[in-house]
């Protein structure tokens, strides 16, 4: 059995999104049928990004397993003979049997295009949102600046009931205008459901003058979907690229006005240990940050995650944090000198052998060690924490939920908001 990785491009106009649906034609369904015919066996693809109805892609990634011995790099050429003209396989290659497109650290880039002129252009109607109100691009840029970095993007997520972890990282957000076309280009480690389109709808309101640029920060702080602008139509959105991490980052930092932390991963590949230093964190965010970043390290291969709270006293050994519980552990590493010994904790993942307890240190009551319960926290986003194997490294924003099912258009097609 081999696993083949495909890079795909498609025009999403005629499809009800990526994910299979019983009563509608989707990208996934068309790919499965074409591959099954080509390979002579039943094929089911696994997609990296489940784009919504009407959303386009220049570079989406999918994998499938096959017994067929066709040369991997020729599969894309043969597959295109079975696909409609609005879907193309750009590249194909063999990959590791356990490589999963949604279990890898990945930078995803989207573009949202806005045609800003008095009269719409028919040739652009399927690939941009038409807005006849003049947009102030400079104000939009100022508003966009508040969104860059690691934040809780709850205000920019369509309500879905199961999404509990709404922290994401935006690496860059640029806004450029060429002739009558305004392009928002956004790169991040992952996106919530409708997140890019809600950001676009909010920044359009800033450009029109409904919101001042500073109001974007207030929307972010509100953590309430009702505070943000409408969801821009799907047709203006394109998945541009997916850049997978080739080497595990030694250090990851997250900082905003609500928290600051550092995750040290330099020992994961050698000793299986990672170190989390929480320098400061607002009380309402502490438990979620501890769980989120600890889980990120475990997903990246850590068997033990040493954690400390420099503000002190908030890691409770008597309770569980999602999958994790805390007990006493021993310090001593260079990375642990920033805190007092009693401030350090360590997590051990379920399914891995747990270290022997140090009786003397337990009697002294100075150290804490964590063990994993393996329990599922019903309050956590199902997609976020469901993949617990070590088969692939993963950032804490793993599953791209942007544009997953449903159109959710909040802007009128006529160009107004």
Q: Which residues are catalytic, by number? A: 52
293 φ, ψ (degrees, to nearest 5): -75, -35
The pairing of strands 368-372 and 259-264 is unpaired
For residue 168, give the nearest of 194, 142, 143 by alpha carbon.
Answer: 194
Q: What is Dmax (Cα atoms) for the chain?
A: 79
C-alpha distances out from residue 291 to 235, 308, 365, 377, Å = 36, 13, 24, 11
Q: According to the 3-state scheme, what is the secondary structure of 248-310?
A: CCCEEEEECCCEEEEEECCCCCCCCEEEEEEEEECHHHHHHHHHHHHHHHHHCCCCEEEEEEC
Q: Is the dihedral of CA 14, 17, 19, 24 positive or negative?
A: negative
In sequence order, the 6+-apart residues with CB closer than 8 A to the CB of 246 are none
349 φ, ψ (degrees, to nearest 5): -85, 145
C-alpha distances out from residue 85 to 14, 29, 68, 81, 235, Å = 11, 15, 25, 9, 18
Q: 244-248 long-range CB contacts below 8 Å, 24 or more apart?
A: 244/104, 244/105, 244/106, 245/104, 245/105, 245/106, 245/107, 245/393, 245/395, 248/105, 248/300, 248/301, 248/393
**Are the C-beta atoms of 390 and 38 separated by less than 8 Å?**
no
């Amino acid at each position: 059995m081999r696993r083949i990785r495909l890079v795909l491009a498609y025009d999403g106009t005629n499809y009800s999104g990526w994910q299979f649906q019983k009563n509608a034609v989707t990208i996934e369904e068309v790919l499965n049928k074409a591959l099954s015919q080509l390979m002579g066996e039943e094929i089911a693809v696994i997609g990296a990004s489940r784009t919504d109805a009407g959303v386009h892609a220049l570079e989406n990634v999918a994998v499938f397993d096959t017994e067929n011995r066709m040369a991997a790099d020729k599969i894309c050429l043969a597959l295109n003979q079975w696909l409609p003209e609005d879907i193309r396989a750009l590249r194909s290659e063999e990959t590791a049997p356990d490589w999963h497109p949604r279990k890898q650290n990945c930078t995803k880039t989207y573009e949202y295009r806005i045609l800003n002129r008095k009269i719409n252009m028919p040739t652009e109607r399927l690939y941009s949102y038409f807005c006849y109100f003049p947009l102030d691009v400079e104000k939009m840029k100022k508003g966009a600046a508040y969104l860059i970095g690691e934040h809780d993007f709850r205000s920019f997520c369509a309500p879905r009931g199961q999404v509990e972890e709404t922290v994401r990282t935006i690496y860059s957000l640029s806004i450029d205008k060429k002739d009558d076309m305004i392009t928002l280009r956004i790169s991040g480690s992952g996106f919530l459901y409708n997140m890019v389109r809600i950001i676009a709808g909010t920044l359009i309101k800033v450009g029109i003058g409904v919101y001042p640029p500073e109001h974007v920060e207030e929307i972010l702080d509100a953590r309430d979907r009702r505070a943000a602008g409408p969801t821009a139509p799907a047709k203006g959105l394109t998945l541009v690229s997916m850049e997978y991490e080739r080497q595990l980052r030694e250090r990851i930092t997250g900082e905003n006005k609500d928290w600051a932390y550092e995750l040290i991963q330099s020992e994961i590949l050698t000793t299986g240990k990672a170190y989390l230093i929480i320098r400061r964190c607002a009380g309402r965010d502490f438990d979620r940050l501890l769980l989120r970043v600890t889980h990120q390290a475990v997903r990246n291969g850590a068997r033990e995650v040493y954690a400390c709270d420099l503000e002190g006293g908030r890691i409770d050994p008597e309770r569980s944090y999602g999958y994790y519980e805390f007990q006493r552990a021993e310090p001593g590493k260079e990375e642990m000198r920033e805190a007092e010994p009693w401030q350090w904790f360590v997590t051990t993942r379920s399914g891995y052998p747990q270290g022997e307890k140090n009786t003397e240190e337990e009697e002294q009551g100075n150290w804490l060690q964590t063990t994993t319960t393996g329990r599922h926290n019903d309050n956590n986003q199902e997609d976020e924490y469901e993949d617990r194997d070590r088969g692939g490294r993963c950032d804490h924003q793993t599953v791209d939920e942007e544009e997953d099912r449903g159109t959710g258009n909040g802007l009128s097609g006529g160009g107004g908001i």
